Amino acid sequence: MSPEPALSPALQLLLWHSALWTVQEATPLGPASSLPQSFLLECLEQVRKIQGDGAALQEKLAGCLSQLHSGLFLYQGLLQALEGISPELGPTLDTLQLDVADFATTIWQQMEELGMAPALQPTQGAMPAFASAFQRRAGGVLVASHLQSFLEVSYRVLRHLAQP
């Protein structure tokens, strides 16, 4: 059995924040009259700084996931435009379409779980119409090449986020 993939530090921080927020909501605060005012002010300043850092981290993570989802969504449409490319490539294209759609869905679900998903999912814009077999083959080469490059960059970004 393979080990579970490590969560990125950003994701770990968001999960801890969610867990601690629940605990904080359940913990009543007693009177703080016995604590020195300077200590309380210092704590408030630290809380504001940590909140700012957390918000900045969440923004970066949301932007990364959003760009990844948008790119995958674009390639879903481009792969659909290649349907009928050739009988030999049909099954491979179908598998690739499903894999890209599954990956986009996984990213979207993660964005929803983290509360980072936009209110509406994006809609597919106009995709190229490949009228001839030659156009579909040439388009297939270009789409496959650009998809490969996109996935390589995505892999590097996700690997970077997963580093402790």
pLDDT digits (tens, 9 = 90+) for 144-156: 999 999 999 999 9
What residues contact residue 111 under an 8 Å CB cut-off, 6+ apart? 62, 65, 66, 69, 117
- Cβ-contact 73, 124 below 8 angstroms: yes
Residue 120 DSSP label: S
The pLDDT mean for the chain works out to 83
Answer yes or no: pTM beyond 0.75.
no
* Region 59-87 average pLDDT: 90
Tokens read off for 149: 């490059």
* Total residue length of the chain: 164
Domains of the chain (ranges, CATH numbers): 40-162 (1.20.1250.10)
* pLDDT band (50, 70, 90) for residue 84: confident
In terms of C-beta distances under 8 Å and separation of at least 24 residues, what long-range contacts does 5-9 make, across chains too? 5/162, 6/162, 6/164, 7/162, 8/161, 8/162, 8/163, 9/161, 9/163, 9/164
Each residue's pLDDT tens digit, 92-145 = 999 999 999 999 999 999 989 888 888 777 788 888 888 888 888 899 999 999
Q: How far apart are CA 97 and CA 103, in angstroms?
A: 10
Provide the 8-state DSSP code for 2: P
pLDDT over 70, % of the chain? 80
pLDDT at 28: 53
Query: Could you tell me which residue, 35 or 140, shows the higher pLDDT?
Result: 140
Return the pLDDT at 4.
47
Per-residue pLDDT band for 1 (boundaries 50, 70, 90) equals very low
| Higher pLDDT pick, 90 / 26 | 90
